[in-house]
Amino acid sequence: MTEKLIKMSVTTRIRNNFLAGLIICAPIAITLWLTWSVVHWADSWVRPYIPARYDPESYLNFAVPGTGLLIAMIFITLVGFLAKNLIGQSIVRFGELIVNRVPLVRTIYKSVKQIFETVLKEQGTSFKKVGLIEYPSPGLWSMVFISTDAKGEIASKFNAMGQDMVAVFLPPTPVPTAGFLVFVPRDKITVLDMSPEDGAKLLISGGLVAPEYRELVAAKELRQPVPIKSLS
């Protein structure tokens, strides 16, 4: 009996050590793999268009990963710099004028441009708050990313019905990049204190990685008991 307990103890220790090492190594390995994949993807797109005399690999006997990504970043930065002056703005307007004359292309271009302007706008309010809504049925709650107030024709229709609606993004688990656009009454949204980054972690982990509640942290720092109602 004692030998079995010793064997189980050794097996348990080995398993725990393996899990501890996996927790440390897995995030590092996945991060390196994703980073390498992005660099390789950028190189595969940019490198074929680099003249041989400007390609470092033409003078070296080994590959230089990241060259394409670096050149792409420099090129995009220069385009942004040139687009801010008068001549660059004129070129951009002329190019958009040509694109707007192509029926299918203009629709795709306008949609993609509007998405990027909204997402990358420094003073935008997109996805800066996380909330809860009753979905898919009363009593069941789903986490959403609050986008913006209803605008345009949609806002006009809702205002005519006397409803103040908010656009929210309802992502699935564990891949929050896809989901549904839902318009919800403002008073039906329970706004959370957590950041969108913490909300994404909670979704991706399937609820296993929950951010620490700020009121609990403040209570610990003040060494005061937290009211029971705040824990619900």
Confidence bin at 1 (pLDDT 50/70/90): low
Burial of 22 from C-beta contacts in 10 A (0-12 / 13-18 / 19+): exposed
Note the pLDDT tens digit of each residue in 17-56: 888 888 888 888 888 888 888 888 888 888 777 777 777 7
Beta strands (DSSP E) in the chain are 129-134, 141-149, 165-170, 180-185, 190-192
* Strands, sheet with 190-192, edge to edge from the N-terminal-most edge strand: 180-185, 165-170, 141-149, 129-134, 190-192
Q: Does residue 72 sit in helix, strand or coil?
A: helix
The answer to the question of residue 99 being in a domain is no
Q: Which strand (E) or helix (H) includes residue 17?
A: helix 2-46
- Cβ 47 vs Cβ 64: under 8 Å: no
- Cβ 131 vs Cβ 192: under 8 Å: yes
Confidence bin at 227 (pLDDT 50/70/90): very low
Q: State the residue range of the domain holding 133.
A: 129-231
Note the pLDDT tens digit of each residue in 46-94: 877 777 777 777 777 767 778 788 888 888 888 888 777 777 778 888 8
Number of folded domains that form the chain: 1
The answer to the question of residue 92 being in a domain is no
- Give residues with Cβ within 8 angstroms of 135, minimum separation 6: 141, 142, 170, 182
Q: Helix axis angle, 103-120 relative to 86-99, nearest 10°?
A: 140
